[in-house]
Amino acid sequence: MTAPPLVEQQDLAPGPRGGARRRPVARRRDHLVAWLLIAPALAYFLVFLLYPALSALYYSFTDWNLRSEASWVGLANYTDLLFDDVKYPHFWKSVGVTLQYTLLSVPMTLVAAMVQALLLNAIRRGSNLFRLLLFLPVVTAEAAVGAIWRWLYDPQYGLINSALGLFGIPGQNWLNTPELVIPALAFIATWQCGISMIIYLAGLKGIPGSIQEAAIIDGAGPWQRFWRVTFPMLRPTTFYLVVTGVIAALQVFGLVYVIFSGSGRSVTGGPEQSGLTYVLHLYLFAFRYDAMGAACAMSFILLVFIMIVTALQFRFLKREAA
Amino acid sequence: MSRGLVRGAVAALLAIGLTACGGGSGGGQGSDKELTFWMYQDRTPQAGQVIEKIRKDFEAANPGVTVKIVKIPKDDYNTKLGSAVASNSAPDAGILDQPLVSKFALDGTIKEVPAGLINEADYYKGALDTNRANGKLYGLPADQTCVALFYNKKLVPTPPKTWDELKQVAAQVHAADPNIAGMNVPKGDGYGGWMFPAIVHGAGGEMVDDAGKKVLFDQPPAVEALQLWVDLLKSSPRQITDSDKPFENGLAAMTITGPYDVPTIRADFPDLDFGVAPLPYKTEPAGNIGGEDSVVFSTSKNADLAWKWLVFLTNPQNNGQLADALGGFPVNVKAQVVAGGPEQAAFLEQLKVAHARPAVPQWIQINDEIIAPAIESALTGKATAQQALADAAAKTRTLLGWNS
């Protein structure tokens, strides 16, 4: 954003290639405007994303409670988190909970989204209405979602137990039985699959009708057409949804926080820590147990883990997707 | 035209950003004395008026002094306060959650109460004790609250006084109707962990001896207290009590909770005929304590004035009203309790025998991460009460370095 050097301005003399010569200055002016235009976004990135991230990296090597001076402890936060089960008794538990949640919720979400997208793509009338209805769970406030699902899962009055009762299946105490907590949470995530559904729908619209027609002429039935044409054509979409879905699932926080907090409940992550996801655990150390340094270290362990998982996905899934 | 517009917009944005940053600096400077005080957002409009009146009275009594009260939603309070302290813009004084006092005291964030500021006998002992760390006093209580036994009068005609009666009543209720639980037994979570010491004190025990650096919750009183909850589960299946609001819906005959639930129950369940009684005990009446303390921050330039303000908040004239506005009971023994429902008597009786939680800075973490899981493992039958608490106590000793 410095002033343009005078030397170049003298080159402005009109000549046979005057138009071409004029361009650098015009371009420079465009640059200035361009910088001004992206300045807010850039400032936002630098001030609210990059600077805090770098600070967090620094604090992850310190013992810091937000109030007193941070004291340098080197790698102690990292080694304690990984190996000291007195200081962090539930760290590995939270890792396990999060992995279990990711492995359940991502496939369930994708299947549900795919089925919904196929159904929406098949109907001629009212598809806008159904698209709206299926998308509604995504735009509903998390607090309301939490409250509604607490009622649905209620062991005494819950609709889910009533529905199971119709088939003779005994009612469960969903959110208070350690083994059922993660499946119950994954089911809520599946219900909120609207964004994946919209992306799948866009992918379906992008498959040329001529390919489907050719398959029909070749005598392919609906099942074959799905597995041989639609599904392979959607592979790039599926790949994108798997990668973003895994990243989001590993960071799940809001839903768990809402479900396991509120009047008379505490945020300690459900029965026997069965709903203590990684980021909830991190949040508790940052804001409840005054260990901001350790919380920063946790966030960087998660960052590295997500980068590794994503790299592996690109290595092994993308080739298949291409 | 469009470029001018863009430049103007950018300039305007920058200007807004700069003024926003400029406005954030902390108070406390200026020629006239200004005192900044942070507290939770008002619970009701009436509470706001009470606090406004106390503020005006203080300013009238101290000419040239302005008290600036900053109200912050309770859920964000500790986070905002932490950031303010970290960026050296803490207020002169403020409300502080009880378990945070010992943390803030030991890292020098708050000042010690000056000698001779108050007569300790004017305050409820349990409430005052929540301000101690290393035996020294670091703040004044603002209001206090506690839990007591809520009972459904239709199912429980006379509330139990002792543990044995409690178990009996619970068994009778459940035997009469197997769809109703005798008691909503607390769980092994942070909230249950907060209530547990009240039961332990009722058997004459203590969680820790913080002066002597000894962990005591593996001793018989604590083990018996946990065994009581385990025994109660027999007549109080979780399939019933895990439902939404089991006590309010008449599915659990008794529950343990605090005065903060009374208005909600009255409003949402007007048909529920309930009473409140002190907690049943084994050897001596006892209870726990909650509520807010008020402290002066080390960075305050008007510390003397700040202490004067805190004393003003807790004097007999103001504390009754203030405590009511904050949703608790007065901490000054001479303050008039704002008249409320018939349940008040039980809470006031309970507060006389209240015990402050241990003044250990890591207590919340120990409560959530060690004691709560131990309670849960005993309640689910994965360990006996003795094993669970012995294991938890050993972990706590290691964490605190109290191995002697």
Predicted confidence (pLDDT) per residue in B321-342, tens digit: 999 998 889 999 999 888 878 8
- Is B82 near chain A, with CB under 8 Å? yes
- Is B178 near chain A, with CB under 8 Å? no
Report pLDDT for B263. 84
Q: Distance from A248 to chain B by nearest Cα, in Å?
A: 25
- Is A287 near chain B, with CB under 8 Å? yes
* 3-state SS assignment for residue B7: helix
Closest-CA residue to B307 (of B141, B71, B101, B139): B139
Q: Distance from B383 to chain A by nearest Cα, in Å?
A: 13
Same domain, B188 and B248: yes
Average pLDDT value for chain A: 88
Q: What is the CATH number of domain A80-321?
A: 1.10.3720.10
Q: Is the Cα torsion angle B95, B101, B106, B112 positive or negative in sign?
A: positive
Report pLDDT for B368. 92
Q: Are strands B93-97 and B65-72 parallel, antiparallel or unpaired?
A: unpaired
Flag whether pLDDT at B382 surpasses 80: yes
Are the C-beta atoms of A88 and A294 separated by less than 8 Å?
yes
Residues of B (356-375) whose Cβ lies below 8 Å from A: 361-362, 364-365, 368-370, 372-373
Flag whether pLDDT at A263 surpasses 90: no
- Is A83 near chain B, with CB under 8 Å? no
A22 confidence band (pLDDT: 50, 70, 90):
low
Over residues A152-157, mean pLDDT? 90
Same domain, B170 and B276: yes
Report pLDDT for B25. 39
Flag whether pLDDT at B276 surpasses 50: yes
In a domain, B357, yes or no: no
In a domain, B99, yes or no: yes
- Is A150 near chain B, with CB under 8 Å? yes
Query: B292 pairs with which residues across the strands?
Result: B97, B143
In a domain, B17, yes or no: no
CB contact under 8 A, A37 and B6: yes
Report pLDDT for A319. 63
Same domain, B157 and B283: yes
Report pLDDT for A36. 93
Report pLDDT for B342. 85
Q: Distance from A271 to chain B by nearest Cα, in Å?
A: 7
Q: What is the CA radius of gyration of chain B?
A: 24
Nearest CA in chain A to B194: A266
Same domain, B249 and B389: yes
Flag whether pLDDT at A202 surpasses 60: yes
The percent of residues in chain A predicted with pLDDT above 90, rounded, is: 70
Report pLDDT for A262. 57
Contact list in B for residue A151 (CB cut-off 8 A) is: 244
Flag whether pLDDT at B303 surpasses 70: yes
Same domain, B273 and B369: yes
The number of angstroms, rounded, from the C-alpha of B173 to the middle of its chain's C-alpha atoms is 31
* 3-state SS assignment for residue A256: helix
Report pLDDT for B22. 39
- Is A303 near chain B, with CB under 8 Å? no
- Is A20 near chain B, with CB under 8 Å? no
CA B370 → CA A91, A264, B374, B376, B399, distances in Å?
Answer: 13, 19, 6, 10, 10
Are the C-beta atoms of A36 and B9 separated by less than 8 Å?
no
CA distance linking residue A310 with residue B220, whole number of Å: 52
Q: Are strands B65-72 and B181-184 parallel, antiparallel or unpaired?
A: unpaired
Q: Distance from A95 to chain B by nearest Cα, in Å?
A: 16
Over residues B206-233, mean pLDDT? 94
Q: Distance from A139 to chain B by nearest Cα, in Å?
A: 23
Nearest CA in chain B to A274: B373
ipTM: 0.82
Over residues A154-177, mean pLDDT? 91
CATH of the domain at B232: 3.40.190.10
Tens of pLDDT, residue by residue over B183-199, are 999 999 888 999 999 99
Contact list in B for residue A273 (CB cut-off 8 A) is: 373
Q: Is the Cα torsion angle A213, A219, A224, A227 positive or negative in sign?
A: negative
Flag whether pLDDT at A69 surpasses 50: yes
List, in sequence order, the alpha helices (H) in B142-219: 163-176, 190-202
**Region of residue A200 (phi > 0: left; psi between -120 and 50: alpha; otherwise: beta):** alpha
- Is B87 near chain A, with CB under 8 Å? no
In a domain, B16, yes or no: no
CB contact under 8 A, B368 and A266: yes
Q: Distance from A266 to chain B by nearest Cα, in Å?
A: 5
Residue the block writes with tokens 């990684």: A278
Torsion, CA B44, CA B50, CA B51, CA B57, rounded to 10: 170
Same domain, B105 and B181: no
The parent domain of residue B169 ranges over 148-288+362-400
A320 confidence band (pLDDT: 50, 70, 90):
low
- Segment (H or E) for B37: strand B33-40
Q: What is the CA radius of gyration of chain A?
A: 26
Same domain, B59 and B164: no
Same domain, B171 and B224: yes
CA distance linking residue B275 with residue B152, whole number of Å: 7
- Is B298 near chain A, with CB under 8 Å? no
Report pLDDT for B260. 83
CB contact under 8 A, A156 and B243: yes
CB contact under 8 A, A86 and B86: no
Over residues B269-278, mean pLDDT? 95
More confident residue, B22 or B61: B61
Contact list in A for residue B395 (CB cut-off 8 A) is: 86, 89
CB contact under 8 A, B365 and A289: yes
Same domain, B266 and B157: yes
List, in sequence order, the alpha helices (H) in B203-251: 220-233, 238-241
Q: Are strands B181-184 and B252-257 parallel, antiparallel or unpaired?
A: parallel
Same domain, B240 and B176: yes
Report pLDDT for A266. 66
CA angle (B126, B132, B135) in 5-degree steps = 115
- Is B122 near chain A, with CB under 8 Å? no
Q: Distance from B86 to chain A by nearest Cα, in Å?
A: 5
Are the C-beta atoms of A277 and A252 separated by less than 8 Å?
yes
Q: Which of the residue ranges A114-118, B27-31, B110-114 would you say has the lowest mean pLDDT? A: B27-31
Are the C-beta atoms of B117 and B311 separated by less than 8 Å?
yes
Give the count of alpha carbons within 13 A of B394, CB side only. Answer: 7
CB contact under 8 A, A288 and B82: no
A12 confidence band (pLDDT: 50, 70, 90):
very low
CA distance linking residue B236 with residue B76, whole number of Å: 36
A304 confidence band (pLDDT: 50, 70, 90):
very high
Interface test with B, best of A174, A268, A280 (most B CBs within 10 A): A268
Residue the block writes with tokens 């049943």: B280
Interface test with A, best of B107, B368, B376, B403 (most A CBs within 10 A): B368
Closest-CA residue to A278 (of A182, A207, A167): A182
If one counts the domains in chain B, the total is 2
Residues of A (244-283) whose Cβ lies below 8 Å from B: 263-268, 271-273
Report pLDDT for B32. 76
In a domain, B5, yes or no: no
Report pLDDT for A321. 55
Closest-CA residue to B208 (of B370, B377, B104, B363): B363
- Is A122 near chain B, with CB under 8 Å? no
Contact list in B for residue A265 (CB cut-off 8 A) is: 189, 191
Same domain, B378 and B248: yes
CA distance linking residue A65 with residue A293, whole number of Å: 7
CA angle (B375, A282, A60) in 5-degree steps = 130
Over residues B81-108, mean pLDDT? 91
Contact list in B for residue A150 (CB cut-off 8 A) is: 244
Report pLDDT for A197. 96
CB contact under 8 A, A66 and B85: yes
Same domain, B48 and B96: yes
Tens of pLDDT, residue by residue over B103-116, are 899 889 999 999 99
- Is A28 near chain B, with CB under 8 Å? no
Closest-CA residue to B65 (of B316, B302, B310, B321): B302
Nearest CA in chain B to A264: B191
Q: Which of B78, B85, B239 sits opposite A155 (nearest CB)?
A: B239
Average pLDDT value for chain B: 89
In a domain, B232, yes or no: yes
Nearest CA in chain B to A43: B14
